Amino acid sequence: MVVPNTSPAKSVKEWVDYARKNPGKLNYASSGIGGISHLTSEMFASMAGIKITHVPYKGTQLSMPDLMSGQIGILFDSVLTAKPHIDAKRVVALTVSSKERSNLVPDMPTMAESGLPGFDSWTWFGIFAPAGAPPSVVDRVNAEVNKIVADPAVRERFAQLGFETTGGTPAQFAAVVESETAKWSKVIHDANVKPE
């Protein structure tokens, strides 16, 4: 979660307090309707009990000039793409949205540490197969992928990009997909998110 340098809030708590004192007057940028930055912002507003206005862009980087100038109040962006702006002190980072701290900004608190317990928004990637794929094929692909993501060189490269590699079983991945689907379905329903 990044804010303009001119923001009066220097923490998540201060930003939430500021938003509560200015209901409906503050806005947030996103990469577009239904994108992870949009849904993360809606989940944040819901959990914090605040009203903020959505300003969709065609990608979060296109919103950076407006964030830097103070026209946009907050942006949930990936650590990797926001970090150069944070390091150059063009914007201020208040928190990471995942339940674990990022290895790219290890001193940055999580949203839970910042006062919103249970907040967890992260980007994940997985490999899917067509329905009805033979279990032997699924098991073979799973075993090979687990070997790849356990390779120290692969883990190091992904860490440089701000990603944590995890392996697991198809059943464990199915549980992640089910949990994430339920979480984001609720956010979409509660925020009445509609496609354009």
Residue 52 CA to residue 181 CA, distance in Å, equals 24
Closest CA to 21 of 30, 29, 13: 13
Q: If DSSP codes are grouped into helix, strand and coil, which group holds residue 74?
A: strand
Kindly report, residue by residue over 109-150, the tens digit of the pLDDT: 999 999 999 999 998 999 999 999 999 999 999 999 999 999
Closest CA to 98 of 172, 7, 162, 185: 162
pLDDT value for 103: 86
Assess whether 10 and 105 both reside in one domain.
Answer: yes
Please tell me the total count of domains within the chain.
Answer: 2
Query: Does 159 have pLDDT greater than 90?
Result: no
Kindly report, residue by residue over 172-196, the tens digit of the pLDDT: 999 999 999 999 999 999 999 988 7
Domain boundary among 105, 121, 137: 121
Give me the mean pLDDT over the 147-156 stretch. 95
Domain span including residue 93: 2-121
Give me the mean pLDDT over the 157-176 stretch. 91
Q: Looking at 54-58, 102-106, 129-133, 168-172, which range is the least confident one?
A: 102-106
Assess whether 100 and 15 both reside in one domain.
Answer: yes
Assess whether 9 and 20 both reside in one domain.
Answer: yes
